Amino acid sequence: MMAKKLSPPTKRKRPIERLPLVDKKVEAGMFHAIAELGNDGILVFDESHRIEYANRMASEITGYSNEELLKMTILSLLDKPHQSFIEDLFLHPDRYGEKTCTEAHLITSGSEVKEAEVCIALAGTSHGVRKGYAYLKDITDRKKFERELKDSEEKLRRLFERVRHGLFISSKEGRFMDCNQALLDMLGYADKEEFLKVDIARDLYVNPEDRKILRERTERDGYVKDMEVDFKKKDGNKITVLLTGHPLKNGKGETIGYEGINLDITERKRIEDELREANEFFMNLIESSVDGIIAADMKGNIFIFNKGAEALSGYKAEEVIGKLHITQVYPPGIAKEIMKRLRSPDYGGTGKLLPSQFNVINKEGIEIPIQLSAALIYNGTGQEIASVGIFTDLRLRLIMEKKLQETHLQLLNSEKMASLGKLAAGIAHEINNPLGGILIYSSLMMEDIPEEDPKRGDLARIVQEAGRCKDIVKSLLEFARQTEPKKEPTDINRAINDGLFFLVNQALFHNIQILKEFDPFLPFVKGNASQLKQVFMNIIVNAAEAIHGNGTLTITTLPSPDRKTVLIEFADTGEGIPQENLTRIFEPFFTTKDIGKGTGLGLATSYGIIEEHGGKIGVKSTVGKGTTFTIELPVQPQMQPILEGQSLQ
Ligand code: ADP
Ligand code: MG
């Protein structure tokens, strides 16, 4: 420590200028005056560190009085490391004139340690005496403030680091200057160093245009808030963030970078997307339902009205949603009744309505029968928020049901016919022989009775009536024929002509015009010619009887467009059949004719024959205008008409 002998201050770097005063006393006086005025504590000490002078501030800072200080050394005011700092000073003559500052702990009078800035300067006097000057500044407050500042900086840093949203500071050129762990995690980077090398526009933005937009907006508005941006993670995967940020400016107000916060909404978006998809799915489901689906809020405002509802009601959804009240969908009072049932436990449980039949009113004001299933919709807290109903159009179903009922009736009818047929056949068979006997014996008796005998007339009557009975029995037997007749390729045009041949000469037909519109290339049907002839004759006779004198019967034959069946039409201009009889005319024994004139078996037999041929027979009629019977018969497979034999008409 004491190796070097101290030399006078020849090598001073910043010499303390000596005042150009001669009078030492004045010089000292001036110095003291200045020293007392300053805000620093000033101590002057000698080579053995004894304090020779202390100003008022020095007392204030150290807590020692001036007298006390003048009995102390400068070292006793300082903590250990700084003591040696001062001791060292006197050993280094090159430091003379230099001011050396340090922060030190001052040991004050109450043993209280104060933080102080201590600046020491050494100076040599003209007499070679060396003195030390110490300037003391109490920096306890400043230190405290600095510590607090550091503390709050640390707090901020901690916040920056710990926030789970991605924080960043970036340069204008497009590099990150700083970021927090959350941003690294969000973008999949392991460490900051790697991340700070990222070229933001190129490596980070899925769409580099976005960064341009961001820059423009921050320039224009001073910030961006919640701008949706897609970022590339390190592994190339995409994330979506909401970016909020603002520009960083230098003193001249120029933008030098940006700082901000990124909120990862990838998951939220995924859920939103899923929700939207699910929503779309349900909307599609609702839309594609054939049934009408209508939902209304608790005020009765309709907010769902699907295609099915449009088809049912004739309204378009846009005419209904927000415009039509749910009560307008139903006849008066029904909407209320439905709500009552929905809230009651008796119709499928509270909040539900099991399928029930109601009417709705369509756009034209017509009531349409529907089946309604409905439900109330509740929110999380169990409050009613909406009602939804599924409407099935019952019109078609009701028609179907009616048809089914008819078919059922028809079936019953045909069963009835079959059993009647059996009964009739039995009776006919039984009375056929006795009837034959009556006819033969009465005929024989007739031969024996002379022409002029009055009994002969009665006998003739018996023969005639017995003949009629025989006819009835014959047709009964035909009606009830159980065996399947032989079927061959049959020319329908010919069968009709054959039938007409027997009839046209009868008195009944004298004033009737018969028009034949036959298709010359009519395919053959698979059938029994004599049975079919009988059917045609039945229909032709009925027509003639309905015409009562003057009129026309038009008979048309034609193949169906696909040539699989043959259509035969008998259109007369007769009296027609009243509606209530139309369904009954095919019943056996149904007749409107006088007793003895009609048997009511003609059409019943015809019906049976056509059915048995796999064909159909139908009728249309207008009272006063005429009647048309239509027969459809299947053609004989693979049979072409013999063209030569066709021109029979
Ligand atoms: P019938 O001729 O013995 O009365 P059908 O079975 O042949 O028995 O006919 C039943 C009934 O159908 C007739 O009594 C008549 O009322 C009605 N009918 C049939 N054909 C015609 C027709 N072309 N025009 C008007 N009524 C008809
Ligand atoms: Mg008849």
Q: What is the CATH number of the domain that holds 262?
A: 3.30.450.20
Residue 573 Cβ < 6 Å to ligand 1: no
The pLDDT, as a whole number, for residue 501 is 85
For residue 40, the Cα-to-chain-centroid distance in whole angstroms is: 81
What residue owns the CA closest to ligand 1's atom 8? 600
Which residues of the chain are under the pLDDT cut of 50? 1-16, 19-22, 482, 643-649
Q: Which residues have C-beta within 8 Å of that of residue 524, sequence separation ≥ 6?
A: 489, 490, 491, 492, 635, 636, 639, 641
CA 141, 143, 144, 149: dihedral to nearest 10 degrees? Answer: 130
In 3-state terms, what secondary structure has residue 307?
helix
Q: Which domain holds residue 332?
A: 290-393
Q: Say what the pLDDT of residue 6 is.
A: 38
Give the chain's domain count. Answer: 5
User: Rounded to the nearest whole angstrom, what is the distance from the C-alpha of residue 432 to the centroid of ligand 2?
Assistant: 22
Q: What is the pLDDT of residue 451?
A: 86
Q: How far is the CA of 572 from the centre of ligand 1 (A)?
A: 12
Assess whether the C-beta atom of 617 lies below 6 angstroms from ligand 1: no
Q: Whose Cα sits closest to atom 2 in ligand 1?
A: 598
17 in a domain, yes or no?
no
Give me the helices (H) in 46-99, please. 56-62, 66-70, 80-89
The CB of 546 under 6 Å from ligand 1? The reply is yes
The rounded Å distance from CA 587 to ligand 1 centre is 10
Here the tokens at position 270 are 């995924």
For a mutational test of ligand 1's pocket, the pick from 479, 508, 582, 585, i.e. the residue with the most ligand atoms closer than 8 A to its C-beta, is 585
In a domain, 114, yes or no: yes
- Note whether residue 592 is domain-resident: yes
pLDDT the model gives residue 10: 41
Q: In this structure, are 321 and 411 located in the same domain?
A: no
CA–CA gap between residue 231 and residue 189 (Å, rounded): 13
Cα 591 to ligand 1 centroid, rounded to whole Å: 6
Q: Is 588 in the pocket of ligand 1 (CB under 6 A)?
A: no
Question: Which pLDDT does position 330 carry in this prediction?
Answer: 94
| Residue 105, token pair as written in the block | 């702990």
In the reported structure, the alpha carbon of residue 581 is separated from the centroid of ligand 2 by a whole-number distance in angstroms of 14
pLDDT of residue 415: 67
Query: Could you identify the atom of ligand 1 that is nearest to the CA of residue 600?
Result: 8
Burial state string for 411-444 with b = 16 or more CB within 10 A and e = fewer than 16: eebeeebeebbeebbeebeebbeebeebbeebee
Mutate to test the pocket of ligand 1, among 534, 539, 603 (most ligand atoms within 8 A of CB): 603
Cα separation of 536 and 498, whole Å? 10
Q: Which of 539, 548, 553, 591 to mutate to test the pocket of ligand 1 (most atoms within 8 A of CB)?
A: 591
Q: Is 158 inside any structural domain?
A: no
Residue 152 falls inside a structural domain? no
Q: What is the DSSP letter of 16?
A: P
Q: Report how far residue 340's alpha carbon sits from residue 333's, in angstroms, rounded to the nearest whole number.
A: 11
Residue nearest to atom 12 of ligand 1 (CA): 585
pTM (2 d.p.):
0.41
Q: Residues 466, 545: one domain?
A: no
d(CA 436, CA 545): 29
225-282 residue pLDDT tens: 999 999 999 999 999 999 999 999 988 988 899 999 999 999 998 999 899 998 898 8
pLDDT of residue 447: 87
Task: Indicate which ligand has the atom closest to the C-alpha of 591.
Answer: 1
State the helix-helix crossing angle for 602-612 and 395-448, rounded to 10 degrees. Answer: 120
- 188 and 108 assigned to the same domain: no
Q: What is the pLDDT of residue 633?
A: 97
- Please check whether residues 239 and 329 belong to one and the same domain: no
State in Å: Cα 610 to ligand 1 middle: 17
Model pLDDT, residue 262: 92
Task: Walk across the sheet containing 51-54 and list its strands.
Answer: 51-54, 41-45, 130-138, 113-124, 99-107
Cα 212 to the center of its chain, rounded Å: 37
Domain boundary among 240, 269, 298: 269
Atom of ligand 1 nearest to the CA of 576: 25
- Measured CA to CA, the distance from residue 469 to residue 596 in angstroms comes to 10
Q: Classify residue 189: in a domain, yes or no.
A: yes
Q: Is 501 within a domain?
A: yes
pLDDT score recorded for residue 412 = 66
Q: Is residue 601 in a domain?
A: yes
Check pocket membership of 417 for ligand 1, CB cut-off 6 A: no
**262-282: burial string, b at 16+ Cβ within 10 Å, e else:** bbbbbeeeeeeeeeeeeeeee
